[in-house]
Structure 1
Amino acid sequence: MPPTSETLTAERILEATEEVLRRHGPAKATVVDVARALGVSHGSVYRHFRTKSALREAVTKRWLDRTTELLAAIVAAPDLDPETRVREWLAALFAAKRRKALADPELFATYSVLTTETAETVVGAHITELTDQLTEIVRAGTAAGTFTVDDPAVTAGALFRATDRFHDPHYAREWERPGVEGEFEAVLDLLVRGLRAAA
């Protein structure tokens, strides 16, 4: 049964938008297609998202937030020491991005287009959230005496950029190569040693 204007929610619209994007791709997917998939008028969709751009930004944010939420659990894990937390956070980021790229390449390609469109808004906020999480881990490690760094935020930004190759979608083709996990572990070992030896 199609939703009514009372039961139509932003979340239902975003779920339908993701399916429409998977089916048609970002170039051909329209708000009318989303409305048709939901069995409502396109005006009903516009009551939740004022423009097509707003809808595309919201669905992109929803997709990126899945990774942010997964990583937040590692930041908050009280039983992990800071070094393990850094390792697990960066490994989880790589695994999440890699899983998205390899498990559903069509949808990943679609979102690669959308993230390019929203680089200054949604993607910028996503990267800020991620580096803030990493800063929290580095700050905790510094407070515990595990890491010796002058500025946790600067260090977190450096860690994030140093591992770009393992989470930036531009490098997605490399994530299928044999030996990429070993290369990631080697970079991670080097970075963690640097945190300990920074004094």
Structure 2
Amino acid sequence: MATTETLTAERILAATEEVLRRHGAAKATVVDVARVLGVSHASVYRHFRTKAALREAVTKRWLDRTSDALSGVVDADGPAEDRLRRWLTGLFAAKQHKAGDDPELFATYTVLVGEASEVVDEHIADLTGQLARIVRQGMENTEFTPSDPATTARALFEATARYHDPAYAPEWSRADAEEAFTALLDLLVRGLRP
């Protein structure tokens, strides 16, 4: 089945996601991706030199969706405290949706994230960098006590890990998860105030 559409990296990544959803990380192959696209596997390899490179790229794409959605909160108007709350709440909500809306794909990506440590490290650096910008703005506006923004951001990220680290995904659907998250967020914000 040949295709007349131009083969792009984005089309390959979308097809890879479809294949991963259908077959899981253990069984998905480049040949499966090529079949979905109606091209040879050599065509896929022209864009991604190895299966590992393709898996890293699709993992990065998946993680970037969260980072991109949260970046708008960083640059929004309003008090830093409000933006910090929206950002952390947005991160929790994004992870809840990923786990709850498509559990098979979430499980697959959890496997891929375990394989792509450099991609994950970059993702965490991006997220903590966004948090650091909010913290820095809060310090500049005297909403938050002066400290090192990067260290504070990392502490906030680690303190809320239960609400965004995939290892805790089974707990995100608990009846009291939202209430517990809000209580933690209130405690953290109080600790930042002068």
Structure-2-length-normalised TM-score:
0.98
Alignment match, 1:124? 121
Residue 156 of structure 1 aligns with an amino acid whose one-letter code is: A
Query: Aligned pair 1:63/2:65, yes or no?
Result: no
State the alpha-carbon separation in 1 of the partners of residues 97 and 109 from structure 2: 14
Tell me, yes or no, if structure 1 residue 3 matches structure 2 residue 3: yes
The alignment yields a C-alpha RMSD, in angstroms, of: 1.1
Whichever residue aligns with residue 158 of structure 2, its letter is: R
Q: What pairs with 1:1-199 in structure 2 (closer than 5 Å)?
A: 2-4=2-4, 7-78=6-77, 80-119=78-117, 121-197=118-194
Given that 1:21 and 1:29 are in contact with CA atoms closer than 8 Å, whether structure 2 keeps it comes out as yes
**Matched residues in 2 for 1:84 and 1:57: separation?**
34
For 1:185, what is the secondary structure of its paired residue?
A: helix
1:40-90 CA distance string (max 9 Å, x none):
000100000000000000000000000000000000102x21000000000
2:146 & 2:95 partners in 1: Cα distance?
A: 28
Structure 1 alignment gaps of length 5 or more? none
List, as ranges, runs of 4+ consecutive aligned residues in structure 1 with deviation greater than 3 Å. Answer: 1-4
SS at match of 1:50: coil
- Looking at structure 2, the residues matched to 3 and 58 of structure 1 have their Cα atoms a distance apart, in angstroms, of 23
- Give the distance between the partners of 1:89 and 1:160, measured in 2 at CA: 11
Question: Distance in 2 between the 1:193 and 1:135 partners?
Answer: 17
Gaps of 5+ in 2: none
Amino acid at match of 1:3: T
The 3-state SS of whatever aligns with 1:19 is: helix
> How big is the shift at 1:150?
1.5
**Identity between Structure 1 and Structure 2 (%):** 67
Aligned partners of 1:50, 1:76: CA distance in 2, in Å? 36
**Which amino acid letter does the alignment assign opposite residue 88 of structure 1?**
R
Aligned AA (1:112)? T
1:2 Cα deviation after fit: 4.2
8 A contact 1:149–1:155 mirrored in 2: no
Pairs aligned (count): 194
Q: Which amino acid is 2:56 matched to?
A: E
